[in-house]
Amino acid sequence: MAFDYDLFVIGGGSGGVRAARIAAGYGARVALAEEYRMGGTCVIRGCVPKKLMVFASGFPQAVSDARAYGWDAGIKAFDWTTFKAQLDNELSRLEGIYRANLERADVTVHDCRATLAGPHEVVLGDGREVTAKHILIATGGQPVVPEKWQGMGCMTSNEVFLMESLPKSILIVGGGYIASEFACIFNGLGVRTTQFYRGAQILRGFDEEARGHIAGEMDDAGINLQLGTDILEMEARDGKTWVKSTTGHDGCFDTVLFATGRRPNTAGLGLEALGLELEANGAIPVDRYSQSRIPSIYAVGDVTDRANLTPVAIREGHAFADTVFGGKPSYFDHGLIPTAIFTQPEYGTVGLTEEEARAQGPVDIFSAAFRPMHSLFAGRDNRAMMKLIVCRQTDKVLGCHIVADHAGEMIQLAGVAIGMGATKADFDRTLAVHPTMAEELVTMRAATRSHSD
């Protein structure tokens, strides 16, 4: 059978675009369909605009520190309108780069929705049908508002960057990294910020010690963090949203933002009609080569719900193209993923948590909490945390956790060492760079605690 394309990609996010470009580089005839804006969640409504908001929210503290260092510094009110205009310009610039890269790779772009009519058949938004030997689903995911609270005018992370004005008060519902990051952002921008989480501690699934440290720092920064708390009732009152909670922390808020979960974007793609059974949350089951149970259909990124991070989607997309079009079977190993959470302070992590490591065997824990030089001089009580988790039998470093300013920058390099199998002795042999926060990683000589089982 003669196909219109060798590869048709549905979704113009980081994973889909990388796969399309690499496949085209191997000589494949490639087309890609995107119904919204090129760049996907990360570029348009995720990592990039969020990180720019993180930068914006940090200036009040920076100016306060500057005064402690002798500068005659001051800061006026934050102008959301000015920031948003600059943000929109930057996102348009990045979207243009994504499009230009596809054009240079000779990828045909369809600015419309695409669905499946068969294992090799794609229906475009204008009704045209095209065929492809291989189809890659890279449609990402989307935030979900619990059904009970839909229709109440609440925001998700998608709408944050579309706000016309900055609220004076906000309730953020959720305890994951998105909820916690936005709590720190809004608090830094001067918004009265409350965060409800029904669990016992924020950042479920991450290292317990690090979670507690971050929660304490957020509380000290003025965020009204209410754990073990959920919403009982919600209603509009005088242009605001009144919320009744399970723990009596009731109040009216200008804005309510839900960050309670995401789901894969598979609804309406036509996958079920092809006999492809999806996971309960809509994720596409795939093997380690990103191939679904229908041999011609592959999927990468958040739509597979494996590890929902932009660099992971990129690596999955690249490996797919290498395997199918480059003759180099490869896959991304999801076992060791460096991650940064842009709370304030940041949290960088790679490898096992203390709890995960303890379940595998005897471990030694090297941990330190201290006041960094920068904030100490400024008179702040903020504390950084450094932690190494070491296998007692092999001396191999199993995990590294950093809670500190610029932790994301530090964990990138720690990830290289741990990925190479570095031992605690390797860390100890490395000369400390002084004076830095990161030197603590190579100067912790004695274990703070040990676990035998």
Give the catalytic positions in this structure: 434
Q: What are the E-state strand segments in 332-396?
A: 339-341, 346-351, 363-370, 384-391
Angle at 388 between CA 384 and CA 389, to 5 degrees: 140
Q: Which two tokens stand for residue 352?
A: 């096992």
Distance CA 304, CA 240 (A): 37
* Angle separating helix axes 14-25 and 310-325, nearest 10 degrees: 30
Residue bearing tokens 């920076």 = 62
Helix (H) or strand (E) holding 218: helix 208-220
d(CA 79, CA 84): 9
Residue 24 tokens read as 């085209």
Between the alpha carbon of residue 106 and those of residues 29, 31, 120, 174, 442, the distances in Å are: 8, 9, 21, 42, 48
Sequence-distant (6+) residues with CB within 8 A of 345 are 214, 217, 382, 384, 403, 404, 405, 407
Could you tell me if 136 and 30 are in contact, meaning their C-beta atoms sit under 8 angstroms apart?
A: no
- What phi and psi, each to the nearest 5 degrees, are found at residue 100? -60, -40
Cβ contact 41:140 at 8 Å: yes
The interaxial angle of helices 80-104 and 47-57, nearest 10 deg, is: 150
| Environment class of 85 (CB within 10 Å of its CB; exposed 0-12, middle 13-18, buried 19+) | exposed
Residue burial 100-128, b: 16+ Cβ < 10 Å; e: rest = eebeebebbbbeebbbbeebbbbbbeeee
Query: Considering Cα of 256, then 262, then 268, then 269, what sign does the dihedral take?
Result: positive
Residues 6 or more apart whose CB falls under 8 angstroms from that of 202 comprise 175, 176, 179, 180, 195, 211, 214, 215, 218, 225, 227
Distance CA 407, CA 349 (A): 8
Strands (E), 320-372: 339-341, 346-351, 363-370
Residue 417 is inside which H or E element, if any?
helix 407-419
